[in-house]
Amino acid sequence: MQSMRAPVFGVTVPTAALLLALVVTETAAMSIDAKAMARFDHSYTKCEARYPQMRGARDEAYLSMWRVKADAKARAELATVRKGAPYQAESKRIQQDEAKQATAPSTTLEAQCQALWSETQRVRSLAK
């Protein structure tokens, strides 16, 4: 069955709506949750301590989870979030909670670090 809608600029309305949805999705793909980022950063710091090859790739690893290119604009956005009050408050809360609790089993942390690093490497290879 053929659409009875008239094409707009040579594109049918349903096609235009789909293209618009894709564009909006791409531009809004990464909405940074400051609290979640603080938790990620805290865990990543532990991974860096265990796996030297992960040092210095925190932003790249975080952005790879969202399939966002680690360019200057994205890194600046992360830096802005890290300076904000919600991030700082969550970071402080995490540190206080950790001081009260026993450490998590090393096998869990190890598995999480390896999975994150594998994903970061995979996204790196796709960018080449």
Half-sphere exposure in the Cβ direction for 47 (13 Å, CA): 25
Q: What is the pLDDT of residues 38-81, one digit of tens each?
A: 999 999 999 999 899 999 999 999 999 888 889 999 999 999 99
Model confidence over 2-30: pLDDT tens digits?
444 444 444 444 444 444 444 444 444 56
d(Cα 8, Cα 103) in Å, to the nearest integer? 60
Dihedrals phi, psi of 55, to nearest 5 degrees:
-60, 135
CA distance 29 to 60: 16
108 with 64, same domain? yes
Judge if 58 and 105 occupy the same domain. yes
Copy the structure tokens of residue 120.
Answer: 């970061």
Give the domain extent around 15: 1-30
* C-alpha distances in Å from residue 121, one per residue of 13, 19, 65: 40, 30, 11
8 and 55 together in one domain: no
**45 and 22 fall within a common domain:** no
Overall pTM surpassing 0.75 (yes/no): no
Are 38 and 98 contained in the same domain? Answer: yes
Domain count, the chain: 2
